[in-house]
A and B are shown apart, each in its own frame.
Chain A
Amino acid sequence: MRALFRIRRLSHLNKRLTFATPLLLLLVCSPSLFSQTYGTDSHNVTVSVATVNVIQVSGGSVNLSLGSTAVTAGVDLMGPVTNTSTTLLWGFNSSLRKVTVKTSLASPKYILKVLAVAPTAGTASSEVTLSTTAADFLTNTGRSSGSCTLQYSGYALASKGTGSDSHTITFTVAAQ
């Protein structure tokens, strides 16, 4: 090393350059030149989604009237008359859900049936004769948002005479 320094001493200019080199390095090592990144920071952002299973009937009340046009001479069973003015809407973000249906009327005088028509997701059950026991109406919906038309069909036995039934129909989301 001493030999190297002795060689450098031979040149005054070389000596100056030797002392200047670290200073040049110092200047070059400015952060803006050394790296183009000036700062960084991070945080955690958590997204949570609650279990949401909502269902809604739109279209209001339904009235079915069995009149003389629903009668066939010599046949006791009158009807059906149908109504498709209402819609069932749903949104499920849980897997394996179904919709059941039941009526509030324990002893109806006449017969009322309901069918899910053209569901956008899931599988419609066959037409359900309404009772106070919940029956499957729409199955295999999975995680979805969709709708179907509610087709109500009313029947009556002529032998039951005149009158009216008032139903409150309840659709329920249930685990399948």
Chain B
Amino acid sequence: MRDDRRYLSCWFSVAAMIAVLFGVFASQALAQLTLRGTANPTISITTGTAGGTMTSVVNTSSSIRYTRQSVITKITVRTSCPSQAFTLQVLATSVTRGVAAPAVTLTSGMAAVDFITNIPNTAGWTTATPTLQYTASATFAQGNSAELGNDVHTVTYTLQAQ
């Protein structure tokens, strides 16, 4: 009887520890990758050249901060933009840890694609904060927002093991 109680007590205390640790790990996981700067940037294309193209616009008002992990990691990007009409690309610049992929064209419903790869797990750094360089472009044939509405992308970045 006494052993039974001890046994049950052990299980309860370990279960409690697991619950607490999961909570801690979960909160830490959320903080391993964060977007900073302008929360929700807006990019406006306002000019074009007769006989040529619309003028692309670059926005670098936001950045991405990520933390070193115990394994080599990478960051992927994907977007959701119902009724997308225009073109949006993103490129990581000033990457101090890892290797930036070439500019990614964000297409609604796309599978996640590599954005920053080979993020090292070696000591000597804790966080890195590259700039997110968004480039919006459109052709005359793609129309305008007054007729088609704005493109609103929900762009998602994920830090994961490589």
Contact = CB atoms under 8 A, between A and B. Distances in A.
Contact of A44 (B14, B32, B47, B152): B152
Interface stretch (A31-39, A100-108, A155-163): A31-39
A95 interface: yes
Contacts of B67: 38-39
B44 A31 contact: no
Nearest to A36: B161
A129 interface: no
Interface residues of A, number: 46
Nearest to A50: B46
B3 to A, nearest CB: 6
B138 A49 contact: yes
Interface string B48-70: 11111110000100101011011
B10 interface: yes
A4 to B, nearest CB: 10
A52 interface: yes
A50 B137 CA distance: 12
B161 A5 contact: no
A40 B7 CA distance: 39
Interface of A: 1-2, 5, 9, 18-19, 22-23, 25-26, 29-32, 36-52, 54-56, 89-95, 143-147
Identify the 10 closest CB pairs spanning chains A and B, nearest first.
A89-B51, A39-B32, A39-B33, A22-B14, A42-B156, A56-B50, A36-B161, A89-B50, A47-B151, A44-B40
Interface of B: 1, 3-4, 7, 10-11, 14-15, 17-18, 21-22, 25-26, 28-35, 39-54, 59, 62, 64, 66-67, 69-71, 73, 79, 85-86, 88, 134, 136, 138-147, 150-161
